[in-house]
Amino acid sequence: MKPQPSRTPLATLLSACVLALALVVTATAVTALVRGPRPAGAQPDRGSHWVNTWTGMPQLTEAGNLPPAPFTGERSVLADTTLRQTVRVTTGGHRLRLRFSNAYGDTPLPLTSVTVALPKDGRAGAGAIVPGSLHPVTFAGRTATVVPVGAQVVSDPVDFELAPGSNLTVTAYTAQGQPDLALTSHPGSRTTSYLVNGDHTRDPDLSGAASADHWYLLSDVEVTAPAATRAVAVLGDSLTDGRGSTTNGNDRWPDQFFDRLQTRPATSDIAVLNQAAGGNRVLNDGLGPNVLARLDRDVLSRSGVSWLIVFEGVNDIGTAAATPDAQRAVADDLIAAYQQIVVRAHAQGIRVYGATLLPFGGSAYDDGAGVREAARQRVNAWIRGHFDAVLDFDRVVRDPADPSRLRADLQVGDWLHLNPAGYGALAGAVPTRLFGAR
């Protein structure tokens, strides 16, 4: 047989190109089959990311903090109820999404419809909204969703312009309500919410609605922000949750600290996340789970956190027996717990700043013999030398004439909690240089 002519270099090159293209197309098709279709708007634009801009630590609602009648029945809560709430965001953005929590529910939580808007006059605790600012919120493209027991749901992104430090109105309607009294909330909102029967999620004003100074169901607001935008989370108790601050005033110390950050161009894009609850403790459950149990949920899993402030431990000292042995043990355990927090946060690339514990002389925690005070001093001495940086809050608000007590002009009368001026003193003591570029 006559031998076949060899293929030309050009023909060989074309065959190789066709084969490579086929492999690329096939690989792309397989990847698409594995990943599934990508929902429109599910991811931030290139060069941006999701950052938490507001959060409220989920808690199990105590009987005294449940919604007022008729919104709490014998066996269910929020049935056929519209709930309108305002929250103050920190960093701003062009898109947002919400998270609703059923962390403590014993039954699934059905959400029938949800909207977001700007509150009238931009005020916290407003029952009315700015005309034309209302947007519907969906979940996987649907207006309704169900939050499983112990879980949370994240909404679809909503195109919505939010300025830094502005208030946002979130209105939710629950037709069925939660068929149980185990409701997830954040009782220490220091912000007024409104409740009315029927679906009024699109109403411009909830005039005549009942009110409660608590947040329910809503746990987070996130925004898309430039890639450099980061957040600082705060672990705390009632001193960070704002007992003694002004209802609808947003003058807790983290709020006033955020206001300071806004005055400096280098820190004006930092979000501040207040993960505090009154009565909370580092070592043992109280009002909400202990810090070691909630660290992953409330800090390490939050979007965009680069810094953590730990300002908690006074309730551990104050609720332990006022004996040398008990106070020695609680001080040892607090120091060990702080070390655990640092190790776990560092593993996520988060810097950890420790705030010294405030004096409580003259309060219900004062044992008269100074046993608890000695434990506080020992813990503070450790804090001052073992975190990535120290915020010496004790030094700022203690009475120079009696360092075991707060300054009289900065506390609310119980010698344990601060007034807005006292919270301003704490906010002013946080060095903004600690929050530089990462």
Q: H/E/C letters for each residue in 128-166? A: EECCCCCEEECECCECCEEECCCCEEECCCEEEEECCCC
The set of residues, in sequence order, having a beta carbon less than 8 Å from that of 306 and lying 6+ positions away, is 230, 231, 232, 349, 350, 351, 438
Are 225 and 49 spatial neighbours (Cβ–Cβ below 8 Å)? yes
Cα–Cα distance, 300 to 321 (Å, whole number): 32
Average confidence (pLDDT) over 382-397? 98
Per the model's pLDDT, the better-predicted residue between 408 and 9 turns out to be 408
Which of 178, 295, 312 lies closest to 238, judged by CA? Answer: 312
Cα–Cα distance, 156 to 142 (Å, whole number): 9
The set of residues, in sequence order, having a beta carbon less than 8 Å from that of 368 and lying 6+ positions away, is none
Which of 436, 437, 397, 435 lies closest to 416, judged by CA? Answer: 397
Which of 349, 359, 399 lies closest to 380, judged by CA? Answer: 359
Max CA separation in the chain (angstroms): 113
Predicted confidence at residue 286, as pLDDT, reads: 86
Cα–Cα distance, 254 to 245 (Å, whole number): 11
Given a cut of 70, whether residue 95 has pLDDT beyond it is yes
Given a cut of 90, whether residue 221 has pLDDT beyond it is yes
How far are the Cα atoms of 68, 157, 241, 307, 384 from residue 40, in angstroms, in the given order? 40, 9, 37, 31, 49
**Sign of the CA dihedral with 395 first, then 398, 399, and 404 last:** negative
Predicted confidence at residue 44, as pLDDT, reads: 63
Split at pLDDT 50, 70, 90, the class of 38 is: very low
Q: Which residue has the tokens 């502005």?
A: 166
Average confidence (pLDDT) over 65-88? 97
Predicted confidence at residue 9, as pLDDT, reads: 45
- Which range, of 19-28, 127-136, 167-176, 335-344, averages the lowest pLDDT? 19-28
Predicted confidence at residue 43, as pLDDT, reads: 59
Given a cut of 50, whether residue 35 has pLDDT beyond it is no
Provide the percentage of residues in the chain whose pLDDT is more than 90.
87
Predicted confidence at residue 404, as pLDDT, reads: 98
Question: Across all residues in the chain, what is the average pLDDT?
Answer: 91
240-281, pLDDT tens digit by residue?
Answer: 999 999 999 999 999 999 999 999 999 999 999 999 999 999
Average confidence (pLDDT) over 197-203? 98
Predicted confidence at residue 207, as pLDDT, reads: 87
**Sign of the CA dihedral with 319 first, then 325, 327, and 332 last:** negative
Average confidence (pLDDT) over 73-78? 95
Cα–Cα distance, 228 to 91 (Å, whole number): 12
How far are the Cα atoms of 116, 190, 201, 259 from residue 172, in angstroms, in the given order? 9, 19, 6, 29
Average confidence (pLDDT) over 376-402? 98
Cα–Cα distance, 398 to 380 (Å, whole number): 13
Q: Which residue has the tokens 């020695």?
A: 328
302-354, pLDDT tens digit by residue?
Answer: 999 999 999 999 999 999 999 999 999 999 999 999 999 999 999 999 999 99
Given a cut of 70, whether residue 147 has pLDDT beyond it is yes
Predicted confidence at residue 42, as pLDDT, reads: 55
Split at pLDDT 50, 70, 90, the class of 8 is: very low
Are 361 and 316 spatial neighbours (Cβ–Cβ below 8 Å)? no
Assign 353 to helix, strand or coil. Answer: strand
